[in-house]
Amino acid sequence: MNLYDIIFYLFALVTIVSGFFVVTSKNIVHAAFNLLFTFFGVAGLYVLLGADFIAVVQILVYVGGILILLLFGVMLTNKVVNVDIRAGAGHILPAVIGIGILWGALTAMIAFKTNWIENPAPEMNPTTAGIGNLLITDYVLVFELLGILLLIALIGAASIARRETEELKD
Amino acid sequence: MYESLVEITGLEIFAAFVSAAMPVAFLVPFVIIAVYLERKVSAHMQDRLGPMRVGYHGLLQTIADFFKLIQKEDIVAEGIDKKFFNFAPFLVFAGSYAVYAALPFSSKYIGSETDLGIFYIIAISGLVVAGILMAGWTSNNKYSLYGAMRSAAQIISYEIPTALVILSIIMWTGTMSLATMSEMQTAYFWNWNILGGPEWGITKFVLIPFLLVAFIILYVSTLAEVNRTPFDMPEAESELVAGYHTEYSGMKFAMFFLAEYGNMFAVSAIVSVIFFGGYQSPFGYLGNTLGIEWLVPFEQVFWFAAKGIFFVFVQMWLRWTLPRVRVDQLMTICWKYLIPYSFVNLLVIGIITLL
């Protein structure tokens, strides 16, 4: 049990426990707050796998962007907050049988059919320059297309917002 | 730091904890001094004396306040969402402390030598926004919620000009690591980025006006990101009681305070690393002149702290000089002025870099 393992189990625990609360929580705001820890734990796991850039992007996009927007949406919409989410169990017997079979099959496949590759812990090499090079050489078309897609989304959002204010003025 | 500790003690965990806790040893005295300074600066600007009773000219006032805060009752009102209410101050502080992991205090001490540096800082400050929203929401108080909403909207808006300015500097210097960025501006103050960087030539002089604009944009938008006057809408006392920390008392309130002052120093340090050479001395090192090698890192820590505290002082200066802006003015400053200017700046600096 070295430092690496301890940190791995810590982040894994954070991810799993908070993920469990996201699913079972009846209050949608609580679920959103717990989601924060899930994202954070996943980012920590990325770092341990040596993917530092992806980890930071995970925090930037999910914690700093999506989660905050989600909270904004939830908090500013009165009706959403007051709705009780159904997190109880119904049809327990069929669900247990169905999920049990599926889960058993998947676990069996993973446990017995996978050729596990055992590597020593990856060295923490910086990945940013490599990702940057790949983005403007091999994947330049996808990169540009994604840029255009985001631009379309931005213009769309701006035009929707503008139309509503004009209607209000009338 | 970490490696040498591992060599000395042989304990990885111990070394990791000690090197991670180093910024606390800096942060807590800094906050105690900064709170005192804030009160003194504000007092002298308004022709008052400020705290005078505890110690010489009130020097021990903050320490007395600290003991007062420890003793205070921890009030948790009814109808409050206890679990997240108790957690929010720590999340805010964690977000503000996490920034210190990538700040180079000297050439010998930096929390994490990742080459993502400034990008990581932009990302991790999202935790502060989440913490503030959590505090505002769980307080179950309309003033808290207003404050939290304003704060989150403000921080998210002002992240855009900050990121654009930082992007233009990254393009120009070619690195995201704050340690490398400070190393590049070595030795003397004419090598600082604000004066066109270490390379001599025509580009140095062409760049200076654009870097000055970049510096002003970055300073204004980081000021807004730490919720300081003139952008202190989230805690506007005359409108919102105390904003998102209205319901907090005792040590939890102190955590917010600690996080706020920690953030102030962090953004000042980022500005100083990006434009003013970070830990580099403006006039060369005494240690090198006298031939005492071990003195250099301590001098570097001194210069890093001095530059950071200078910009913190400017923040206080602005706070007691300028009136608070309105919400619509706040958004106008960001979206109609700072963002277009920073886009133009980005293009120009990019073109000059290419040439």
Q: Is B129 on the interface with A (CB under 8 A)?
A: yes
CA distance, residue A57 to nearest chain B CA (Å): 7
Distance CA A134, CA A142 (A): 11
What local confidence, expressed as pLDDT, does residue A68 receive?
85
What local confidence, expressed as pLDDT, does residue B303 receive?
85
Residue A75: list chain B partners with CB under 8 A: 133, 137, 145, 149
Mark residue B150 as left, alpha or beta (left: phi above 0; alpha: psi -120 to 50; beta: remaining).
alpha
Name the helix (H) or strand (E) containing A83. Answer: none
Residue B115: list chain A partners with CB under 8 A: 126, 128-129
Looking at residue B162, its amino acid is: T
- Percent of chain A at pLDDT exceeding 90: 14
* Closest-CA residue to B341 (of B157, B165, B159): B165
What local confidence, expressed as pLDDT, does residue A89 receive?
66
Q: Is B123 on the interface with A (CB under 8 A)?
A: yes
Q: At what angle do helices A68-76 and A28-48 cross, to 10 degrees?
A: 180
What local confidence, expressed as pLDDT, does residue A169 receive?
56
pLDDT digits (tens, 9 = 90+) for B7-50: 777 677 777 778 788 888 888 888 888 888 888 888 888 888 87
Q: Who wins on pLDDT, B288 or A98? A: A98
What local confidence, expressed as pLDDT, does residue A17 receive?
92
pLDDT digits (tens, 9 = 90+) for B171-189: 888 888 888 888 777 767 7
Whether residue A165 is predicted with pLDDT greater than 60 in this model: the reply is: no
**Residue A146's pLDDT band (boundaries 50, 70, 90)?**
very high
Which of B119, B139, B144 would you mutate first to test chain A, the one with the most A CBs within 10 A? Answer: B119
**Residue A163's pLDDT band (boundaries 50, 70, 90)?**
low
pLDDT digits (tens, 9 = 90+) for A37-80: 899 899 888 888 878 888 888 888 888 888 888 888 777 776 65
User: Is B130 close to A63, i.e. CB distance below 8 A?
Assistant: yes
User: Is B130 close to A52, i.e. CB distance below 8 A?
Assistant: no
What local confidence, expressed as pLDDT, does residue A88 receive?
64
Residue A158: list chain B partners with CB under 8 A: none
What local confidence, expressed as pLDDT, does residue A1 receive?
64
Note whether ipTM > 0.90 here.
no
User: Is B127 close to A63, i.e. CB distance below 8 A?
Assistant: yes
CA distance, residue A73 to nearest chain B CA (Å): 11
**Residue A149's pLDDT band (boundaries 50, 70, 90)?**
very high
- Percent of chain B at pLDDT exceeding 90: 0
What local confidence, expressed as pLDDT, does residue A13 receive?
92
User: Is B116 close to A68, i.e. CB distance below 8 A?
Assistant: no
Whether residue A170 is predicted with pLDDT greater than 60 in this model: the reply is: no
Q: Is B137 on the interface with A (CB under 8 A)?
A: yes
Distance CA B198, CA B191 (A): 4
User: Is A75 close to B125, i.e. CB distance below 8 A?
Assistant: no
B157: nearest CA partner in chain A: A65
- Domains annotated for chain A, with CATH where assigned, are 1-84 (1.20.120.1200)
Contact B148, B243 (CB under 8 A): yes
User: Is A71 close to B137, i.e. CB distance below 8 A?
Assistant: yes
**Residue A85's pLDDT band (boundaries 50, 70, 90)?**
low
CB-neighbour burial class of residue B235 (10 A; exposed 0-12, middle 13-18, buried 19+): buried
What local confidence, expressed as pLDDT, does residue B333 receive?
85
User: By a Cβ cutoff of 8 Å, what residues of chain A touch chain B?
Assistant: 2-3, 6, 29-30, 33, 36, 40, 52-53, 56-57, 59-60, 63-65, 67-68, 71-72, 75-76, 126, 128-129
User: Is B124 close to A59, i.e. CB distance below 8 A?
Assistant: yes
Mean pLDDT computed over B298-319: 86
Contact B182, B103 (CB under 8 A): no
What local confidence, expressed as pLDDT, does residue B100 receive?
87
Work out the number of other CB atoms within 10 angstroms of the CB of residue A27. Answer: 17
* Closest-CA residue to B157 (of B325, B324, B322, B336): B336
**Residue A153's pLDDT band (boundaries 50, 70, 90)?**
very high
- B240: tokens are 């919102």
pLDDT digits (tens, 9 = 90+) for B227-260: 777 777 777 667 777 777 777 877 888 888 888 8
Whether residue B113 is predicted with pLDDT greater than 70 in this model: the reply is: yes
Q: Who wins on pLDDT, B328 or B198? A: B328
Residue A65: list chain B partners with CB under 8 A: 126
Which of B3, B113, B137 would you mutate first to test chain A, the one with the most A CBs within 10 A? Answer: B137
For chains A and B, CB pairs below 8 A equal: 67
- B203: tokens are 């580009």
Going from N- to C-terminal start, the domains of chain B cover: 21-71, 82-354
Residue A29: list chain B partners with CB under 8 A: 137
User: Is B115 close to A3, i.e. CB distance below 8 A?
Assistant: no
**Residue A2's pLDDT band (boundaries 50, 70, 90)?**
confident
Give backbone dihedrals phi and psi of B24, rounded to 5 degrees, phi first: -60, -40
User: Is B123 close to A126, i.e. CB distance below 8 A?
Assistant: no
pLDDT digits (tens, 9 = 90+) for A112-143: 877 777 776 666 677 778 888 888 888 889 99
B11: nearest CA partner in chain A: A3
User: Is B119 close to A60, i.e. CB distance below 8 A?
Assistant: yes
What does the mean pLDDT of chain B come to? Answer: 82
A5: nearest CA partner in chain B: B13
Residue A26: list chain B partners with CB under 8 A: none
Distance CA B79, CA B332 (A): 37
Which of B12, B92, B115 would you mutate first to test chain A, the one with the most A CBs within 10 A? Answer: B115
